[in-house]
Amino acid sequence: MRVVQAFRFELDPNVAQRVSLARHVGAARFAYNWGLSRCLEALEQGLPLPSAAQLHKAWNVWKRENAPWWVEVSKCAPQEAFRDLERAFRNWRQGRAGRPRFKRKKSLEDNKARLTGSIRVTPRHVQLPRIGKVRTKERTDKLLELLQARKARILSATIAREADRWFVSLTCEVERPDPIPRVPQDDDVVGVDLGLMSFLVLSDGTCIEAPKPLSRGLRLLRRRSRQLSRKRKGSRNHRKASLRLAKLHRRIKNIRRDFLHQVTTALAKTKSVIVVEDLSVKALARGRLSRSVADAGWGMFRRMLEYKGRWYGARLMIAPRDFPSTRLCSRCGHRNGRLPLSQRVFRCAACGLEMDRDLNSAINLRNYGLAALKGPTGSSPGSDACGDPSGGGTAFGSVYEPRVDEAGSGRSFVSPREVK
């Protein structure tokens, strides 16, 4: 099975390489913003959006007149930025994301550049176009072995600045062993609910808390941003405070990523079917949950589950957006009224069940998954390759037609108009 996998290394660049890395990241950001303003102009005038190739052509003309020094930057940095821009507009038009915005130097996410072309790896170095051979802080053995055995191929390299450190992420096509097909047993089908108090609640009653350092870091983040806002712009203290803030952002990001990797690997390895809600981070971001959801990294969690599911042969199933997981009673199936967010306990009006609201929804999600596996629509086109749903059996909760979503299809049902 071929999968796309990223290998990330911290770099240890010399002074000249630092300058060159910064120049590439700056170039990618500049080109992205340059292209974005052209796209926005086109939108305003009702013209079709320029494609990445068209932008690149126009860029080359513009560059010759306005920025001839850009010969020092590999041409793929702006080229890849235009491709990103094209994708960002496509995602927006298809309702998967908000409207593309300008990239900012101070945002961690916006200090990145993707490079293609000749990229090589040695035990302690990564060779990048234009930038040269940069030392890595850790050994690259794991990737190198795969490359030498021809089990991996490097597709691109993304360089990123996180506060005062540099990282490279090598996107590779990797040959992985095919997962052993698993026949889903009832007890390794799990419903996963995004909790209000815990990060996740599983249908077997397990609560997974976000790591303490993460919540501590987030509290500190608010204080540090306040501190920064009090410093005079351009002053030495401002510079110091903003570096401190960027370092904290990096730390939080790393803790969160590690945590999500652990959770998703454990789930993908031990469960055959994982049922989650089709909960868009966007939809929630408007409500009261905004901070905690954004912080918890639900989007990243889903993405990881999708690809790890493919690696380990677990199937990710997504209950549709209108599935009332919080309103259904997990014991009798009665549909209750809306539960305000402040209410922690679910009470069924029909059978009197009292249960933690998050656990109740996790169980409902699991029941949904079981029904989808056994029900007549369980083998609908669009179900993924892992685990052929066994036919027969009766569907739970006949009111809700279960729909099986292909893991990785990234389907979404909001149009840009609905997203404000």
Q: Which parts of this chain interact with Zn ion (CB under 5 A)?
A: 329, 331-332, 334, 348, 350-351, 353
CA pair distance 289, 296, nearest whole angstrom: 11
Cβ atoms of 166 and 21 closer than 8 Å: yes
Q: Token pair for residue 368?
A: 């949904």
Q: 352 vs 391, which CB is nearer to Zn ion?
A: 352
Q: Which position among 86, 110, 162, 277 bears the catalytic label?
A: 277
DSSP 70: G
Q: 133 vs 334, which CB is nearer to Zn ion?
A: 334
Q: Which position among 193, 306, 405, 406 bears the catalytic label?
A: 193
Instruction: State the chain's maximal CA–CA distance in angstroms.
Output: 75
Question: For this structure, is 405 an active site residue?
Answer: no
Cβ atoms of 380 and 303 closer than 8 Å: no
Residue 329: CB minimum distance to Zn ion, A:
3
Residue 330: CB minimum distance to Zn ion, A:
8
Residue 207: CB minimum distance to Zn ion, A:
22
Instruction: For tokens 């007890």, name the residue.
Output: 187
CA pair distance 265, 146, nearest whole angstrom: 21
Q: 181 vs 205, which CB is nearer to Zn ion?
A: 205
CA pair distance 113, 168, nearest whole angstrom: 10
Q: 16 vs 351, which CB is nearer to Zn ion?
A: 351
Q: Token pair for residue 1?
A: 């099975």
Residue 93: CB minimum distance to Zn ion, A:
43
CA pair distance 10, 102, nearest whole angstrom: 27
Residue 351: CB minimum distance to Zn ion, A:
3
Q: Which position among 84, 86, 110, 358 bears the catalytic label?
A: 358
Residue 370: CB minimum distance to Zn ion, A:
18
CA pair distance 333, 176, nearest whole angstrom: 42
Cβ atoms of 19 and 186 closer than 8 Å: no
Q: 52 vs 328, which CB is nearer to Zn ion?
A: 328
Question: For this structure, is 356 an active site residue?
Answer: no
Cβ atoms of 174 and 4 closer than 8 Å: yes
Q: 190 vs 329, which CB is nearer to Zn ion?
A: 329
DSSP 400: S
Question: For this structure, is 187 an active site residue?
Answer: no
Please list the residues that pair with 115 across neighbouring strands: 157
Cβ atoms of 368 and 191 closer than 8 Å: yes
The residues that are catalytic are 193, 277, 358
